[in-house]
Amino acid sequence: MAEPQHLLGKLSLKDLTIHDSTGRFQLSPALPDTEVSQFVLSQNGVAWKGSLTTDQYYLREKVLGNTQAYKRSGTDEINGSWRFILRDLSISLDSDSRNNDILETYNVVSSLELLVRDAHRIKATGKATVELLKVKTGCIGSVYTFENQRKKGYARMLVDLLNDWSRKFLNHCDKDDDNYSFNTMYSEIGEYYAKNHYISRHVPWINIPLNGSFDNANKESSFEVALIDKGGFEELVKKSNEYDQLKFIKLCTEETQQGINNVRLFLDFNVSSVDCLHERAAFYNKYLNDSQPLKFGLNLTRKTEEGEEEIVGFIIWTYNFNDQDIEVLKIGCFISETSDDKAIYDADLEEQVYKILILEMLKYVGGALDSVRFAKGIKIWQTSISSEVLQRNTFRNWIIEELRGKLDLPNEESLSAITSFNDSDQSLIEQNKGLIWEANEKWAWF
């Protein structure tokens, strides 16, 4: 493929390339379908292909690259997936530490991906008033140092330079004079990236085994359940994102009235992220499981007094064929949380909705075990459950006693971490006070 003249507005590949202070290291985007990107993909496949063959891994990356979450639409669009490479310019073509004799790749030593998406920042501007700013956020994934280049500090330099790049190019904020962009990552190697200023936020999870009978789920309730196919979540996600945004604004407003001025950062819940994770699962299902198409979620509705149907909740999940579990991406419950009248909030009803959603999911995936024969259980990040419900003993005892599940399990395999490119916000993150990272749920993972 011919190199495009511009990648971001009027910026060329050269414009998007940065160096460290010594000039030894160079970070630049790897253009798709080039010799460099193919070389990087072949190296990364050693670590990330899992149970796929090499050819299947290449095909998976191509399929994911064509999803809406990954594609950057238009020459001036920053949202989407970027693959970056780090070059050590001190490596020469005749050096023993070179990768090969190919001019384009001999000094490429490590790589990563950055998925850029829309986010928001909420901050109090006065008593009972808040400011909602649209910002950009990047999520780092697939950090990889090539096997013959390890133990040289390349991973740290790679992420340091990626921070510099993000600080410069993600500065797309409603306020031109401030940069409130931020990056996140989900580390599989613990606190390693703390040296790059990524501060971890531990999210425990719930595990529920798939060895029970759930045929009586929702048997005596007035709710109706509808399963949802892959690709059928757009309207539901839009409603949930608007609902969550109002909820976060309301929380900030209530806090300012009490003299509390917290900052809130959150990634916009978007259907492209959900669809991408579902495409990934569908790919594995096709090539490794050879089963019929699977359902990926359900919603819960009820009749209003006027006889109209309203959605009261939903649950979206995906299938992790590598870890042999089914993972909840998001649970939504629309039970009066945004109302100004706190008296109409029904905690018992909210808990009931969460229970029915989980039970109906278990009922479906339990019944589909012949096709989803790899699955051992379901995993729920506890940030997917409202804090009010999660703190209730009736809910916790229900998970433990009736579902034989476990709560508060450490999420060591996917440790979430965040860094801000605003000095004031970063200081709050490092102090672990005054800044709340909302919507840190499995659907945001990359």
Q: What is the pLDDT of residue 236?
A: 96
Average pLDDT over residues 188-217: 85
Q: What is the pLDDT of residue 188?
A: 82
Average pLDDT over residues 170-195: 83
Query: Helix 54-65 to helix 271-284 angle, to the nearest 10 degrees?
Result: 160
Q: What is the pLDDT of residue 75?
A: 45
Q: What is the pLDDT of residue 288?
A: 81
Segment 146-155, tens digit of pLDDT: 998 999 999 9
Q: What is the pLDDT of residue 215?
A: 61
CA distance 182 to 171: 9
Segment 67-115, tens digit of pLDDT: 999 987 654 478 999 999 999 999 999 898 888 889 999 999 999 999 9
CA distance 360 to 401: 18
Whether pLDDT at 2 is above 60: no
Whether pLDDT at 342 is above 70: no
Q: Would you place residue 337 in the very low, low, confident or very high pLDDT band (cuts 50, 70, 90)? A: very low
Q: What is the pLDDT of residue 77?
A: 76
Average pLDDT over residues 165-183: 81
Whether pLDDT at 330 is above 80: yes
CA distance 273 to 68: 8
Q: Which long-range contacts (CB under 8 A, 24 or more apart) does 71-80 make?
A: 75/4, 75/6, 75/7, 75/8, 75/9, 76/8, 76/9, 77/8, 78/8, 78/116, 78/136, 78/169, 78/170, 78/172, 79/116, 79/117, 79/118, 79/136, 80/115, 80/116
Segment 409-437, tens digit of pLDDT: 998 778 999 999 999 999 999 999 999 99
Average pLDDT over residues 159-176: 85
Whether pLDDT at 6 is above 50: no
Mean pLDDT of the chain: 88
Segment 288-316, tens digit of pLDDT: 877 667 899 999 999 888 888 899 999 99
CA distance 417 to 413: 13
Q: What is the pLDDT of residue 3?
A: 37
Q: What is the pLDDT of residue 213?
A: 60
Segment 28-80, tens digit of pLDDT: 999 888 899 999 999 988 888 888 999 999 999 999 999 999 987 654 478 99
Q: What is the pLDDT of residue 84?
A: 97
Q: What is the pLDDT of residue 217?
A: 58
Segment 350-392, tens digit of pLDDT: 999 999 999 999 988 877 655 556 678 899 999 999 999 999 9
Q: What is the pLDDT of residue 212?
A: 65
Higher pLDDT, 175 or 235: 235
Q: What is the pLDDT of residue 171?
A: 83
Q: What is the pLDDT of residue 384?
A: 96
